[in-house]
Amino acid sequence: MNRSDYLNRNHLGPLEDLSQDMERVFDSLLGRTVGSMLRSGASEKYVPALDIKENSEVFTVSVDVPGVQPEDVKIELHDGKLTIAGSRSSVAEEERPNYHRIERASGSFQRVVTLPGEVDVEHIDASYQNGVLVIVLPKIAKQQPKKIQIRTGN
C-alpha cells in the first residue's frame, strides 16, 4: 500500500496500522489477554477482523462483526477501495456491575481494503450470517484477444 492510500483513509495512518498489526500478532501468538494488555483503556476501540480471498472470478471479504446489526453497517466502494464502517453497542450495564474482566470492545469501526483489480459494481453481493459479514465482489472480465480475419479481393 502506498503513502496516498494511507492518507486517503479516515484514521491515524501507518502508526495505527502498525499498532493494530502488532496487537493481532500478540493476540494470535500469546492469546487475547496479552494483546489486550497492550491497549490503553482510553483508546480501546472495536476493530473487527477480516479475511480477503481471491479467485479468478471474485474477491471475497469476510468480516467478523458479532453483535453488530446489519442495518448498523455501511459498505461503500470508491476508487478501488472497499470501506466497511459501523458500530457495535456495548452490553447493557446492570445496576451495579462487578466486572472482573472486560475484553469485549464496542464502539464505531471502519476498515478500508484496497482491491488489486476492477470490480463489477452492479453485481456486488453482501450477506450476514452468524456474526460474519461476507461481501462478494465479482471481477470485471478481461477482454480476450480477438483474431481478426483479413479479407481478400476474391
Q: Where are the domains of the chain?
A: 1-44, 48-91+101-140
Give mean pLDDT in consecutive 10-residue pieces for the chain, a chain of 154 residues: 44 62 67 49 70 95 93 94 89 66 82 91 95 96 83 81
Would you state the cell numbers that stand for residue 7, as one nine-digit string?
Answer: 492518507
Cα torsion for 56, 140, 17, 25, to the nearest 10°? -10
DSSP 66: T
Residue 13: the pLDDT is 56
Residue 30: the pLDDT is 61
Q: Which CATH number fits domain 48-91+101-140: 3.20.20.70, 3.40.50.300, 2.60.40.790, 3.40.50.720?
A: 2.60.40.790
Q: What percent of the chain has pLDDT over 70?
A: 68
For residue range 64-93, what is the model confidence (pLDDT) as tens digits?
Answer: 999 899 999 999 999 999 999 999 877 655
CA–CA gap between residue 7 and residue 18 (Å, rounded): 15
Residue partners of 5: CB distance under 8 A and separation at least 6: 81, 114
Residue 117: the pLDDT is 86
pTM, two decimal places: 0.63
Residue 145: the pLDDT is 84
Residue 112: the pLDDT is 93
By residue count, the chain amounts to 154
Residue 14: the pLDDT is 65
